[in-house]
Amino acid sequence: VAQGTVDRAYDQLVAEGYLSRGVGRGTFVRGVRPSTMRDVRRLPATAPAAAASRAGGQTPWARRVQLLDGYGAPSVRAFVANGPALDQFPVGLWARLVGRRLRRITSRDLLGAGPAGAPALREAVWEYVQAERGVRCTLDQVLIVAGVREALDLVSRVVLRPGDVAMLEDPGYRGARAVFAAHGARLLPTPVDAEGVVLPTRTRARPRIAYVTPAHQFPQGVHMSAARRLALLAWAHQRDTLIFEDDYDSEYRYRGRPLPALQGLDTAQRVCYAGSFSKVLYPGLRLGYLVVPPPLLDAVLATRSISTLHPPMLEQLVVAEFLADGHFHRHVRRMREIYAERHDALLDAARREWAGALEVSPIEAGLQTLGWLRDGVDVDALCARAARADITLESLEQWAIRPLARPGVQLGFATIAPADLRAGVTRLARVLEAPGLRGGS
Ligand SMILES: Cc1ncc(COP(=O)(O)O)c(C=O)c1O
C-alpha cells in the first residue's frame, strides 16, 4: 500500500489510543486491548433493579420523589384524554419557520440567554399574557420554562420547606401533587364545587402555597367564579399563602368570553402565573411560561441558573416568531373550531345514547370533560370492559386524593374525529347496558 495509507492507519491507531508515538522515540504498542474498548457497548439497556433501588433510597428527596408519567402514546381512540390533536399541527409551516430562523441565527442566539429565557420569546409572551389573559406584570417578571412542571418545581424549590402545607384541588392535576410531595410538603386536598376550589376556612392550617386552575379546573372543567377568585385572594392574603395559578389550555374556550387570569386581580404580589405551549402547540416542545411576583424573582432566577439555565434557544426563537407573526392566533382559532365540533359531537351523541347511565358535564373550555356514573357502578370494571370494546376510559379516581362522592370517568374528545366519537358513544352505550356493572352484582 502507499505510504500515505500507512501513515493514516498509524494516525488512526494513535488517535484511538492503541499506539503511542513520540518524535525521535518511535511508535509503541500500548497495553490497551481492543476488547476493553468494545466491552463498553455491551452494557444492558436497563440497570439491574436492585442497584437502581439502592441508589434511589439514599436521600429524603430521592425517597419522596415519584416518577411522573410523560404524555402517553399518541392515540385517536375514543375517549383518550389530556392531549391535543397532533395530526392537525401545521408541521410544514413549522419547518419553514425553523429553517428561516436558523438561517438568521446570530452568535448571540447560539451563545444562549440568561436564566429567564430568550428575550424575543419573553417579550412575545409578555404581550400575549397582558393582551389575552389580563395578566399584569413587567417584562422582567416573565420567564420561559420547560412547561408547567418546571414552573411548579422552580417555585416550590424557592418557597417550600419540608413540613409546609400545600393546598391543592382534589381531584386535581397529579403533577402538582407529585412536585409538592417531593419537596416534603404536607398536602391539603380541597374539594371543588361549581364555582371552583372550596376554600378551607375551618382549618387552622396556613398553606405556604395553593395550586389552582381557575380558567377551567382540571379535571372537572368548571371555571372559578369572580366571587370565588376575590375570596381566594383575600383568604390567601390573611394566611400569607402564595397562589400558583395554572392557566393551562385557557386558549380553548368554546362559549362566552374568557375570564381574565386571577393574577390580574392580585394587588398583593402573591400569585405566580403559569401557562403552557404543550396543548396549544405540542407537548414535546417542552415550553411554557411563568410570571413571578417581584419578591420571589431573584430567588427563582438564581435557582434556574444552577440547573437548566433556560430551554433550547432555537425552539424559543421559533415560538417567538410564531406568536409575533400571527400564526399562533390563527392556529388557536382553527383548533378551537375543530375541538368545538368534536365537543358538540360527543355531547349530542352522549345525550341520545347514554341518558341515565353516564351524565356528561358540559364544559366551556379545555380538551376533555367528565362523565358521571350512577352511584354503585364499579368504575374499574367499566373501564376494563370499555377497553375490550376498544374504548379508553380513565377513572376520575386517579386524579383524586380522597375518596370521590360520585364515580366518574374522563372523556377526551380533542384527538378523535366526530364520526369516531359517535361510534365510540354507541359502543360504550352497549357496554353500559350490559349486566353486572353495579357494585356487588
Ligand atoms: C392541569 C395541567 N397543567 C399543566 C399541564 C401541562 O404541563 P406541561 O406544561 O409541563 O406539559 C397539564 C398536562 O397534562 C395539565 O393537565
pLDDT at 2 over 80: yes
Q: What's the pLDDT at 34? A: 67
3-state DSSP helix/strand/coil % of the chain, to nearest 5: 45, 15, 40
pLDDT at 339 over 60: yes
- Residue 191: C-alpha distances to residues 87, 280, 303, 353 (Å): 36, 28, 32, 30
Instruction: Give residue 35 CA to ligand 1 midpoint distance, Å.
Output: 47
Instruction: Give residue 401 CA to ligand 1 midpoint distance, Å.
Output: 18
Average pLDDT of the chain to the nearest whole number: 93
For residue 52, what pLDDT band results from cuts at 50, 70 and 90?
Answer: low
For residue 441, what pLDDT band results from cuts at 50, 70 and 90?
Answer: very low
Instruction: Give residue 437 CA to ligand 1 midpoint distance, Å.
Output: 32
Q: Which of 71, 224, 278, 410 to probe ligand 1 with, by most ligand atoms within 8 A of CB?
A: 278
Give the Cα separation of 371 and 356 in Å (integer).
Answer: 11
In the block, residue with C-alpha cell 375570564? 259
Q: Whose CA is nearest to atom 15 of ligand 1?
A: 173
Q: What's the pLDDT at 56? A: 57
For residue 440, what pLDDT band results from cuts at 50, 70 and 90?
Answer: very low
Cβ neighbours of residue 418 closer than 8 Å, sequence gap 6 or more: 341, 342, 345
What phi and psi values does residue 179 have, to the nearest 5 degrees? -65, -45
For residue 437, what pLDDT band results from cuts at 50, 70 and 90?
Answer: confident
pLDDT at 273 over 80: yes
The residue among 55 and 209 whose pLDDT is bigger is 209
Retrieve residue 350's grid coordinates: 352522549
Give the Cα separation of 15 and 19 in Å (integer).
Answer: 8
Among 21, 278, 275, 294, residue whose Cα is nearest residue 151: 275
What mean pLDDT comes out for the span 313-327? Answer: 98
- Residue 226: C-alpha distances to residues 194, 202, 260, 307 (Å): 12, 22, 10, 38
- Residue 196: C-alpha distances to residues 3, 27, 58, 248 (Å): 81, 77, 40, 15
Cβ neighbours of residue 77 closer than 8 Å, sequence gap 6 or more: 390, 391, 392, 416, 420, 424
DSSP summary character for residue 424:
H
H or E segment to which residue 144 belongs: strand 142-145
Among 142-146, 223-227, 249-253, the minimum mean pLDDT is found in 249-253
Asked whether 308 and 150 are in contact (CB, 8 A), the reply is: yes
Which atom of ligand 1 is nearest the CA belonging to 150? 10
DSSP summary character for residue 169:
E
What mean pLDDT comes out for the span 52-74? Answer: 80
pLDDT at 259 over 90: no
Judge if the beta carbon of residue 147 lies within 6 A of ligand 1.
yes
The residue among 53 and 286 whose pLDDT is bigger is 286
Retrieve residue 113's grid coordinates: 440567554
Q: What's the pLDDT at 33? A: 73
Q: Which of 276, 282, 396, 398 to probe ligand 1 with, by most ligand atoms within 8 A of CB?
A: 276
DSSP summary character for residue 400:
-
What mean pLDDT comes out for the span 39-60? Answer: 70
Q: What is the pLDDT of residues 215-230, one digit of tens each?
A: 999 999 999 999 999 9
What mean pLDDT comes out for the span 241-259? Answer: 90
Instruction: Give residue 148 CA to ligand 1 midpoint distance, Å.
Output: 6
Which atom of ligand 1 is nearest the CA belonging to 151? 10
Q: What's the pLDDT at 55? A: 61
Instruction: Give residue 293 CA to ligand 1 midpoint distance, Å.
Output: 21
Q: What is the pLDDT of residues 23-43, one digit of tens each?
A: 898 999 988 776 666 666 677
From start to end of 170-277, where are the E strands? Answer: 186-190, 192-193, 196-197, 209-212, 242-246, 271-276
Q: What's the pLDDT at 249? A: 87
